[in-house]
């Protein structure tokens, strides 16, 4: 076999090598992406503090414009209300206008009458009672009907609070999505290089024959690695963009729970006696409320402005 025959055989094998490259790219890329997703949850927690003080933080700042473009397709406020007070009010109305709950619809008195009958032991709350005879709304550490006092914290929930919480949730979602992309993208790139650095076997018959088979080998192998890295990074970016509204939704409820606990903390502490008194004073409370309702019923008609 002469030199020309060897060269022709090497060129004819290039088509088969290209098909092998495409298969290797597809197969190994899927493996690398799955490994990235599996490792992300561990690495993300371990690197959380490092991300804020290392080069990753500054790299993340540089890719923020890219995620700003991605939010056109995957907006962070897809599941939460964002905007000014009027926009948030409209959003809340659109989500609750079909609710059968009277309290949500604004009929507070109708909702209360469904929960606490006017002729029940808490019927006095529907009466106009002079201030010197009016008893405190809290009895044995709870509200009428047995509700916890911290239920009153809902009075502080309004559009401005929701807007502030939503803005914080969107900020957290963007940071998490950026960190997700950095970690999964880097892991995907590294795994792609490790999995594809020997995707095409070097033709041993071409060793020392000519520079063309060797250059073809290195070119195709480099092309395989480059394409695999690009696909891994692109999939990491798409996956991170898809997670932005999800991160924002769960971030909203996380921030809301923190705010809620701060609001009702001042209500919980003074009424800790409800843990013991509410059950132990059941009979005494029933007798007291019966006598109190009887006293209220004996009062003359009081004008509403008193």
Q: What is the pLDDT of residues 88-136, one digit of tens each?
A: 888 888 888 888 888 888 888 888 888 888 888 898 888 888 888 888 8
How far CA 232 is from CA of 29, 41, 79, 199, in Å, comes to 7, 17, 28, 16
Q: What is the pLDDT of residue 249?
A: 93
Angle at CA 38, nearest 5°, toward 44 and 71? 60
Model pTM score:
0.67
- Burial class (CB within 10 angstroms; exposed 0-12, middle 13-18, buried 19+) of 9: middle
Tracing tokens 């006092």 back to the chain, one arrives at 149
Q: CA torsion sign, 295 to 299 to 303 to 305?
A: negative
pLDDT exceeds 80 at position 214: no
Tens of pLDDT, residues 265-304: 777 777 777 777 788 888 888 898 989 988 888 877 655 5
* pLDDT, mean over the chain: 75
- Over the Cα atoms of the chain, what is R_g? 34
Closest CA to 82 of 162, 8, 139: 162
Sorted by where each begins, the domain ranges of the chain are 3-109+152-257
Q: How far is CA 145 from its chain centroid?
A: 34
The larger pLDDT score, comparing residue 109 to residue 191, is at: 109
* Average pLDDT rounded to a whole number, residues 243-259: 92
Mean local confidence (pLDDT), 45-67? 56
Query: What is the model's pLDDT at position 86?
Result: 87
Best-predicted range by mean pLDDT (7-16, 33-42, 294-303): 294-303
CA distance linking residue 60 with residue 37, whole number of Å: 19
When comparing pLDDT for 272 and 242, which is higher? 242
**pLDDT of the residue at 142:** 86
């Amino acid at each position: 076999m002469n030199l020309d025959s060897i060269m022709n055989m090497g060129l004819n094998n290039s088509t088969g090598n290209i098909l092998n490259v495409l298969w290797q790219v597809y197969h190994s890329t899927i493996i690398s992406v799955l490994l990235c997703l599996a490792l992300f949850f561990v690495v993300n927690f371990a690197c959380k503090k490092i991300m804020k003080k290392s080069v990753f933080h500054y790299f993340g700042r540089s890719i923020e414009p890219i995620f700003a473009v991605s939010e056109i397709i995957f907006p962070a406020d897809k599941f939460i209300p964002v905007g000014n007070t009027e926009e948030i009010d409209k959003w809340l109305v659109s989500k609750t206008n079909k609710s059968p709950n009277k309290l949500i619809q604004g009929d507070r008195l109708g909702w209360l009458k469904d929960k606490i009958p006017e002729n029940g032991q808490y019927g006095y709350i529907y009466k106009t009672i002079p201030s010197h005879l009016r008893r405190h709304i809290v009895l044995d550490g709870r509200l009428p009907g047995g509700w916890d006092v911290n239920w009153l914290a809902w009075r502080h929930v309004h559009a401005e609070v929701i807007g502030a919480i939503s803005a914080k949730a969107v900020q957290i979602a963007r940071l998490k999505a950026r960190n997700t992309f950095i970690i999964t993208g880097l892991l995907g790139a590294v795994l792609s290089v490790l999995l594809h650095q020997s995707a095409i076997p070097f033709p041993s018959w071409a060793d020392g024959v000519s520079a063309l088979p060797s250059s073809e080998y290195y070119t195709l192998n480099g092309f395989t690695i480059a394409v695999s890295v690009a696909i891994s990074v692109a999939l990491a970016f798409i996956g991170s963009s898809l997670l932005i509204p999800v991160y924002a939704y769960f971030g909203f409820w996380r921030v809301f729970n923190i705010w809620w606990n701060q609001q009702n903390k001042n209500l919980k502490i003074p009424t800790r006696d409800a843990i013991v008194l509410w059950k132990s004073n059941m009979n005494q409370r029933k007798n007291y409320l019966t006598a109190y309702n009887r006293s209220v019923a004996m009062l003359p008609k009081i004008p509403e402005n008193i």
